[in-house]
Chains A and B, each alone.
Chain A
């Protein structure tokens, strides 16, 4: 691991924090707002790969735990991590790792839909797989009910997977030396 790798890991931790500052995207039909923050998770995996991307998000979670208000809406500290939605945040590093790992397994000329599937599996599947059971334990809800509750975020997350794909392609074109 070179110094450049360490700097990029630190940068993507900071970028994930900066994405929390973006104005929330309105979903007019559903009446829900989606934040740009989880873009950081998928982008780190897509642009830095499994190892560096996972470490970048591990660093991000460590900084949130240390008390910095880096989560969307200015939240931070141990309370948010131990709260009902803590599992969704703890899943960030693994989600970035799995996203990067899956994308690395695709051949360079694989269809765009396969890339999207990797982003959805890594960036959404892993986060829900950890977040929903956590919510179920903290809120003492049956797993099924917790899952139904989390589904409110699924449309927004799917949109984010598509946006990540577009951002990752544009960034790679402008900055190929990742």
Chain B
């Protein structure tokens, strides 16, 4: 698919997705307990160093920061006036460290592996009445539906362009949603025809 995964064989690529996610959760919490700007800057530099150490180019690190660059710059600027340069450095470095660490995991883990991990994470929820097989079905269906709904959007926009309505939000969304809903009936019938039992969540 169109995920930003970068193939490789580094230690980070080989690590289990669940381990990586737990490590990120721990690091994300830890970064908010540190109040020293110097230590935070060192940690941000360490996060950056992990890119070449995982066989990823530094451009990949820059790409992780770009989507949040404008908002981040604004926050640092406001902090420089409100909280002083030390706070601005702390907040800026923390943001960079956080984004780089999260980016490392996104770049070194296949989306399918991440989804499989999510499915496994659902399993212990069975005792609370959550059916893991249904969760797994919903996850894989959504992944299939994304390109299909994108195609419906493109078709509807093309049709409305003829009528001069391609920028009318109602003329685009209403037919898209109705077409997509009609599709769900067929898909649900097809799934049940293949023996999926919604009560048990098995097939």
Do A and B interact?
yes
**B138 pairs with A79, CB closer than 8 A:** no
State whether the Cβ of A155 lies closer than 8 Å to any Cβ in chain B: no
CB-CB nearest in chain B for A174: B178
Q: What 12 additional pairs, Cβ within 8 angstroms, besides A14-B142, A14-B146, A22-B169?
A: A6-B141, A11-B149, A18-B152, A18-B153, A23-B167, A63-B142, A66-B114, A67-B3, A69-B3, A76-B3, A83-B68, A83-B99
A interface with B by C-beta (< 8 Å): 1-11, 13-15, 17-19, 21-23, 25, 36, 39, 43, 47, 55, 59-60, 62-63, 65-70, 73, 75-85, 137-142, 145, 163, 166-167, 170-171, 174-175, 178
Q: Given the complex, which residues of B lie within 8 Å of A23, measured CB to CB?
A: 167
Closest Cβ of chain B to A170, distance in Å, is: 5
Closest to A62 in B: B118
Q: Which residue of B lies closest to A164 (CB)?
A: B173
Bound together, the chains give a CA A144 to CA B95 distance in angstroms of: 21
- Minimum CB–CB distance from B90 to chain A (whole Å) comes to 7
Q: Which residues of the partner chain A approach B184 to less than 8 Å between Cβ atoms?
A: 4, 7-8, 11
Task: Report the minimal beta-carbon distance from B96 to chain A, rounded to whole angstroms.
Answer: 10
Contact of A7 among B32, B106, B191 (CB under 8 A): B191
With contact pairs A22-B153, A79-B106, A137-B32 given, residues A167 and B75 touching in the complex (Cβ less than 8 Å): no
Asked if residues A21 and B146 are in contact (CB atoms below 8 Å), the reply is: no
Contact across chains for B178 and A175 when beta carbons are under 8 A apart: yes
CA distance A123 to B174 in the complex (A): 19
**With the chains together, A128 CA to B5 CA distance in Å?**
31
CB-contacts of B89-141 with A (<8 A): 90-91, 94-95, 98-100, 102-103, 105-106, 109, 111, 114-115, 118, 134, 137-139, 141
Which of these, B3, B67, B114, B153, contacts A75 with CB under 8 Å? Answer: B67
Say whether A67 contacts B177, CB under 8 Å.
no
Shortest CB-to-CB span from A46 to chain B, Å, is 11
> Which A residues are in CB contact (< 8 Å) with B41?
none
